[in-house]
Structure 1
Amino acid sequence: MLDFVQNNIFISLLIINYVIAIGTAFFIILNNRNPITTVSYILSLIVLPFVGLLIYFFFGQEYRKDKMFKRRKVFNNKKVKEWEKKLLVGEQKLDQYEDRFLDNQVNIVKLLQNNQKKPLTFGNDVGILLNGEKKFESLFKDIEQAKDYIHLEYYIFNSDKVGLQLIDILCKKAQEGIHIRVIYDYVGSALSGKQEKRMQSAGIEIFPFMPVWFPNLTRKLNYRDHRKIVIIDGTLGYVGGINVSDDYVNPCKKGYWRDTHLRIKGNAIKSLQSHFLLNWNFVSNQEIEITDSFFPKMENCGEIAVQIAASGPDSNWPHIMEAIFTAINSADKSIHITTPYFIPNDQILTALKTASRRGVEVKLLLPKKGDSWAAKYATNSYILDVLESDIEVYHYCKGMIHAKTMVIDGEFSSVGTSNMDYRSFEINFEINALIYNKEFSQKMIAIFNDDIEDCEQINIDEWKERGLVKRLKESFCRLWAPLL
């Protein structure tokens, strides 16, 4: 036996691989996960010897109920819960708002209030910032005006030109006595140790989100903090698709980068704040004292109703996906979606197709090239399916479109960090602002129509004629859609 192993090392390793793979496959099946995800992982174990095991080892393990997420304690803090309760709108009051402006969207409000205790907030002013150059111009000015504290949370925080500009301002404000807390994702960011130490020396508290070190690599590599949040003095905040990187400021080395971010002033910042504090306690292992300064009383800043939806593997349900699903099913007239990655689960795909077939105008705006070849081909594999349900699909040709937006009936909008894909719905920590306002939503449709000017509409007959090689690439990448 020993001689056989020594003389047939590869075959022996292959046998060991498949023995482990069979055991792993049984474990995956017993977990009763999404059938598509289950099949994808089992297929990778069968057709990719050794590599399939690595894929599952690094990306496939389920930690939604893992104890490392149960350590998150901010929601157990009575003070935070008190503030959330004060902001909640009662059922009777919701009925009044339904008659005034919520219409079918009242179900979205109820869903998030029941699942996540996230209130519908009033008295907000919401500004739309197109592309990084506008976002950072506005953000830097607001940071300069900070009086008490600044909270930042980013998936990508790089030590490049725009990153150094932000660090310069933050260090200056810290030296003025402003309390600054920063969370950056360890995998997504390229923040140098030198700049991190510089911020710490200036008095800035900064922590990485789930650093990836052996032997904890498998537990942490897959679940990333994809949020982009800034909170200034508890009254002003930013949320959307734009990270801290030169790639988001035009002109950039990747060509033209089209993105959307929001500047919010008003009571919705209290919900953004609670999510930041939740993550802060998690990454810092601190029990931060919740004071009134985190949730200050404000006069009405505007007339817009906003609800914050957040999700991640620490939650019992995929809140953002469920909110999007509910919004699509509530549509009577139109659905406008812009997303860089369209790899929907069965629920969202079915909701969109049935909406179109019952007479709702559905338009999808996607990048033509994208910044990931695998995601691009996986996205393309869904296009014929939606075209056959009379959904209009547009390819953005000017550059990369990275905005993550949705508008329903010209009355309800979603802008945030969540893509239309498995990773955003199930794996990453995401956050979206849901805007219940007709005037704001009409602005979002106008922006959508402006973007269409830089698009080509996909013709179903021409799409069917694309080459066999492309179709094979699409089908292959679609198999791994839950992993992308």
Structure 2
Amino acid sequence: MHTDFINLGWNGLWWSLAVGYAVLILCVIAIVISENRNPLKALGWVTALLLFPVGGVVLYFVFGRSIRNVRMISRRNRRKLLRHEGTQPLPKLDGALSPENRQRIRLAYSVGGANLYTGNDLRFFSDGASFFEELFDDLRHAREYINLQFYIIASDPLGRRLRDILIERARAGVKVRVIYDYIGSFDARRHDFFQRMKENGVEVHSFFKLSFPSHVNRLNWRNHRKVVVIDGRVGYIGGMNVAERYLGASSPGGKWRDSAVRITGPCVGALQYHFAVDWKFMGHDLLCDPVKAPDFRGGAPDVEDATLQVLASGPNDRWGNMTLLFYKAISTARRRVWLQTPYFLPSEGLLKALESAALAGVDVRVMMPRRSDSRVLTFASHSYVEECLLAGIKVYLYDAGMLHAKVLIVDDDFSTLGSTNFDFRSLEHNFEENLVMYAPEANRVLARSFEADAAESTRLRLADWNRRERSRRVQESVYRLLSPIL
């Protein structure tokens, strides 16, 4: 009798816990729905909570919370930075600009405050060796300050070369500031890599420092930007991280193909502005470093007198800055849309924009790696291929290694490159930054690089693609279902 009573008590307890947990799951689902977020993303979380109820709740509170509309900087400090930069309201746009580009410029200015800069010189890089050679040379010539941020700074030979240059410049009296991502640079953070910088006068800070349990919900928000500003004269922006694999010496899967650009001219002020915003957001003093005329040290630029904007985006955006720019650029294309991305996980709107452009006769090409650095993201990206091919989009799988470039080329006079992948994470969760170029010559340079990459790629045909194994199709479908939260 006593044993039966104990068993009845335990059964009641388990039933109470099960009912309580079911109520918790339903409450979390209600929260997800009430946030009125991207329907696909909400559906992804609801699916995860239903399929994995135990882990789903934990994952939601770690990865699923929103910081939309959170200001990175006060209005007063923003005005102070803009005054220091000498920024004026968006000027009357040059009549030589196409109607489509005038609309794109106004959009970037409206959603992200992206000012317009003329008279800039650009030098493009499509391989890590030349990029880091030029960057390190500029860093060695810094005389006043270096503001540098990367998603990944690895504790490998290339990372140590960068560290030693920064330490040498700090010892010489140059003000050196470094922002790294807490997750992306986790390996270097575990060693004394950053500590050695600090001990030698370099100001080093992670964008979001994680601690358990108070700050564990920051895990999903990452600073993915890759920007360097040197003395206010030279700036760099692109998709390359600081890691030896970009040099090709230790990449068993092939070369890492990426894109970056060196800027001299007034647009360096925009890179400096966004670095200052990030610096202030981390709780430090407002930076008002001077931006100066370039000294044109180095080789001849690839493009002269370019008209540029810099658009930053993040999970705190009201509008989803980069998503809107991509959508506007693609939907107003007249002749071509060429896209390179390491991960192809478009929102429904962006996918339909690409498909409608292709179906309307625009030359739409999408290039992605055959095998990315993530097996899960490879399967999820490839799940969109059949639909793209049916719409007439030309799909290329890059065979020479890991295609990490993030480039969009539209018609003959619009292009953008930077840190933004064509996926949910970049467009919804990461802090990103892209250079937007209204320059036909820049368009031609990037188009030539795209064509060179196409020579090392396989263009897919629908009949051949449909012959892939059934097991692969199943994996693609499963991972696509979760793509909004990957």
- Residue 45 of structure 1 and its aligned partner are, at CA, apart by 1.1
- The answer to whether 1:410 aligns with 2:415 is no
Judged with a 3 Å threshold, the aligned counterparts in structure 2 of structure 1 residues 11 and 168 are, in CA distance, closer, same or farther, namely farther
1:315 maps to 317
1:381 maps to 383
Select which of 33, 39, 53 maps to 1:29: 33
Q: Deviations over 1:441-477 (max 9, x none)?
A: 1111111000011111111112122222111111110
> Does structure 1 conserve the Cα–Cα contact (< 8 Å) formed by 2:126 and 2:449?
no
TM, length-normalised to structure 1: 0.93
Q: Secondary structure at the match of 1:221?
A: helix
* RMSD across aligned positions (CA): 2.1
1:266 maps to 265
* Comparing 297-306 and 194-203, the one that deviates more: 297-306
1:42 maps to 46
- Aligned partner of 2:49: which letter? L
Select which of 98, 112, 115 maps to 1:116: 112
Select which of 124, 136, 155 maps to 1:159: 155
- Aligned partner of 2:188: which letter? L
* Runs of at least 5 residues in structure 1 that lack an aligned partner in the other structure: none
- Aligned partner of 1:456: which letter? T
Q: Deviations over 1:221-241 (max 9, x none)?
A: 001000001000112111111
- Residue 6 of structure 1 and its aligned partner are, at CA, apart by 3.9
Query: 2: distance between equivalents of 1:200 and 1:353?
Result: 50
Query: 1: distance between equivalents of 2:26 and 2:8?
Result: 23
Q: Secondary structure at the match of 2:56?
A: helix
For 1:30-179, list aligned pairs within 5 A: 30-65=34-69, 69-70=70-71, 72-73=73-74, 76-83=77-84, 86-90=87-91, 93-94=92-93, 97=94, 99-179=95-175
2:217 maps to 219
Q: Secondary structure at the match of 2:53?
A: coil
Q: Secondary structure at the match of 1:50?
A: helix
TM, length-normalised to structure 2: 0.93
Query: 2: distance between equivalents of 1:195 and 1:467?
Result: 45
Query: 2: distance between equivalents of 1:363 and 1:289?
Result: 41
For 1:390-409, list aligned pairs within 5 A: 390-409=392-411
* Identical aligned residues as a percent: 33
- Residue 79 of structure 1 and its aligned partner are, at CA, apart by 2.5
* Runs of at least 5 residues in structure 2 that lack an aligned partner in the other structure: none
Query: 2: distance between equivalents of 1:164 and 1:12?
Result: 56
Query: 1: distance between equivalents of 2:86 and 2:463?
Result: 54
- Residue 351 of structure 1 and its aligned partner are, at CA, apart by 0.8
Query: 2: distance between equivalents of 1:156 and 1:8?
Result: 51
Q: Deviations over 1:144-199 (max 9, x none)?
A: 11111000111111111100000000000100000000000001102244222211
- Aligned partner of 2:155: which letter? S
Query: 2: distance between equivalents of 1:423 and 1:288?
Result: 29
- Residue 71 of structure 1 and its aligned partner are, at CA, apart by 5.4
> Does structure 2 conserve the Cα–Cα contact (< 8 Å) formed by 1:74 and 1:278?
no
Query: 2: distance between equivalents of 1:353 and 1:307?
Result: 27
Select which of 159, 164, 188 maps to 1:191: 188
Query: 2: distance between equivalents of 1:31 and 1:139?
Result: 43
Q: Deviations over 1:251-279 (max 9, x none)?
A: 22343111111111111111111100000
Query: 2: distance between equivalents of 1:306 and 1:75?
Result: 26
Judged with a 3 Å threshold, the aligned counterparts in structure 2 of structure 1 residues 391 and 221 are, in CA distance, closer, same or farther, namely same
